[in-house]
Chain A
Amino acid sequence: MLVVLFAVSVLTFLIFNVIPGGDPALRMAGRQPQPGQLERIREDWGFNDPIYVQYVKTMGQVFSGDLISYSTQENVWNEVKGRIPRTFALAIGAAIMWMLFATALGLYSAVKAGKFADRSLTILALIGISMPVFWVGALMNYYLGFRWGIFPNGGYVPFADDPWEWFYHLIMPWTALSLLFIGVYSRILRSNVLDTINEDYVRTARAKGLSERQVLLRHVLRNSMIPIVTLWGLDFGAVLGGGAILTETVFELQGVGQYAAESINELDVPPVLFVVIFGAFFIVLLNTIVDILYAALDPRVRLA
């Protein structure tokens, strides 16, 4: 995994450094640089060093927290620090929401397999998968926010300022982001439940007189959740690390992902590099947590 992280950082660095037109000194000097100014900038920022020296220096700054943005010349870590609560609020709320809805809908769909309810839920899930999140977000913003005034029109209120407003502002982003995941997860859960429901131990559970509800929740669901939990870990990690770029941008949440997207537009390498590593860190972290959760869900893993 460390090898992958290393390769990811090198690739990000190369994309912006090797390709012509990406010379940061030219952009920093502005449209009409003074004679010698370009040279001075290159010297000060170390752009004359060989590329691997630049890479090592930049990576050192990433981990010591001294990384400076090319375009705003501000400290990247300070900028990211201020945005973390926003991204986390979006990620945690949405992850809970999509997991709850997907579990409920997937289970219901499987219980009603082949019936009208199942068919309509499957179509709804496919519609959820087929909608671009930024489009749904923009329409929600326009109709629910601007036209009908049911929800606030984008933006973020810190939890400490006003917990209710914080919640109220996040409902639309949570919903928009969750739609896709609910679609994907509920379909996978449905097919897993249908596979599990025919297992022998489920018949045993029924035979010993457990209620259908207990059979479904304690025996079927628990085993069907395992693949979903893996997926959930990966997706939750990606969103925590700023992966929900489109949602953050369309709702103006000013989170970590939006910072990365804006920095890419300015060809500002340091923040992009930082966010990519930040994001990869969360993916690795959540993967580990999922492995632990696995053992809790499936005792067989503990024995192995």
Chain B
Amino acid sequence: MATEPATEYSVERPAVFEEEARREGVEGMGPWRLALRRLRRNKIAIAFGVLFVLVVGACLAAPLWADDVAHTSPIKNHLSDTIVVDGKKTNVVSLDGVPIGPTWQGEFFLGADTNGRDTMVRLLYGGRNSLLIGTVAALITTLLAVLVGILAGYFRGFTDTVVSRSLDVIWAFPAVLLGVALGTALTLSGLNLGPIEISSRSKLIPILIIGFIYIPYMARPIRGQVLSLREKEFVEAARAQGAGPLRIMLSEILPNLSSTVVVFFPLMVANAILLEAALGFLGVGIPPPEPSWGNLIGDGVDHILSGPHLAIVPGVALVITVLALNVFGDGVRDAFDPRATIHLEH
């Protein structure tokens, strides 16, 4: 992939690099503009970023496809319907329960599932749910990870011990096991936290679970960064001017974390989408009949003998989306951090 060869340059031939910088007028540009510039030059990363935007666009347009092309809805069964393919009348689901494969025409473009539901329509609507869960979960992870990371890194001592040990506890569970355990428990009862009540069928449950599980993966590197930032001269200067802890955290440290957050975010979304798929496969994602890519893959794996397209279609959609996010995220990381010091620990 287009990892910028800057790593090799800067070590072996710094003079070349400097000269290049002078020639291109990089001097005096801020880190954000520099990063944006490097990212724009990384054609592969941009291409995959565009691919991701296209996937999002397609999923947002799901109702258009459902109403105007496929003329059905994601949860409407067509068990006993027939359609005309290549001039021949065919059952959507044959008498022995085998659904029709891809027809490559408006209705049942990618075939049907065992209930006679249109796979393409379900794929697009499922994508909306998967992307929604992925993005919101990643947002929750980011918010909480930055919060606890700053608190632990800035105050150190007791706060740090409590935060770090709690993160260790979450970390010590295998992610999937913790997700399934929480998912099973919460989908039975719903969540009651004082005044907040979340119904057991709400999409918020998988979102909260996924967002929660990934906190340590992001909070640890942020805490480490805050630990070193708080010793920097500008923090000392702020303190000398009489700034309190809150002001130092918000206006001195937080802005310096923004590039880390920007680097992590696409990768967090990718991981959240993957975890949603795993939970869907194990039956604790969004409750059916509502589709998500996880539910669709899980369903497809169960019925793979009656139609492999049921597993292949949502799986390919998911792999393309996650791959696009990973490649783009990689490009963003290289742009901000050509020496690649930020690593997403697995």
- Please report which residues of chain B, range 307-338, place their CB below 8 angstroms from some CB of chain A when the two chains form the complex: 308, 311-312, 315, 318-319, 322-323, 326-327, 330
User: A262-304, CB under 8 A of B: which get 1 and which 0?
Assistant: 0011010000100110011001000000000000000000000
Q: Which of B17-25, B68-76, B84-92, B166-174 contacts A (4 or more CB under 8 A)?
A: B166-174
* Cross-chain contact A238 with B174 (CB below 8 angstroms): yes
- B54 CB, nearest partner CB in chain A, Å: 16
Per the bound structure, the CA–CA distance linking A114 and B47 in Å amounts to 18
Query: Inside 8 A of A279's CB, which chain B residues have their CB?
Result: 174, 177
Q: Which of A55-63, A96-104, A130-138, A218-226 contacts B (4 or more CB under 8 A)?
A: A130-138
Query: Inside 8 A of B260's CB, which chain A residues have their CB?
Result: none
- A255 CB, nearest partner CB in chain B, Å: 13
Query: Inside 8 A of A119's CB, which chain B residues have their CB?
Result: 1-2
Residue of A nearest to B281 (CB): A134
* Cross-chain contact B165 with A7 (CB below 8 angstroms): yes
* Cross-chain contact A194 with B7 (CB below 8 angstroms): yes
Query: Inside 8 A of B312's CB, which chain A residues have their CB?
Result: 139
Query: Inside 8 A of A191's CB, which chain B residues have their CB?
Result: 7, 340
Answer yes or no: A92 CB below 8 A from chain B CBs. no
Answer yes or no: B188 CB below 8 A from chain A CBs. yes
* Cross-chain contact A135 with B181 (CB below 8 angstroms): no
The listed residue (B11, B176, B185, B281) touching A22 by CB distance below 8 A is B185
Per the bound structure, the CA–CA distance linking A48 and B63 in Å amounts to 53
* Cross-chain contact A132 with B326 (CB below 8 angstroms): no
* Cross-chain contact A12 with B297 (CB below 8 angstroms): no
Per the bound structure, the CA–CA distance linking A266 and B7 in Å amounts to 52
Per the bound structure, the CA–CA distance linking A130 and B168 in Å amounts to 26
Chain B interface main SS type: helix
Q: How many A-B residue pairs have CB under 8 A?
A: 142
* Cross-chain contact B297 with A132 (CB below 8 angstroms): yes
Answer yes or no: A36 CB below 8 A from chain B CBs. no
User: A216-241, CB under 8 A of B: which get 1 and which 0?
Assistant: 00000000000000010001001001
* Cross-chain contact B169 with A139 (CB below 8 angstroms): no
Query: Inside 8 A of B315's CB, which chain A residues have their CB?
Result: 131-132, 135, 139
* Cross-chain contact B301 with A134 (CB below 8 angstroms): yes
B residues at A contact (CB < 8 Å): 1-3, 5, 7-8, 11-12, 165-166, 168-169, 172-174, 176-177, 180-182, 184-186, 188-189, 270, 274, 277-278, 281-283, 297, 300-301, 304-305, 308, 311-312, 315, 318-319, 322-323, 326-327, 330, 340, 343, 346
8 interchain residue pairs of minimum CB distance: A122-B1, A243-B174, A130-B322, A21-B188, A130-B323, A138-B301, A21-B189, A135-B315
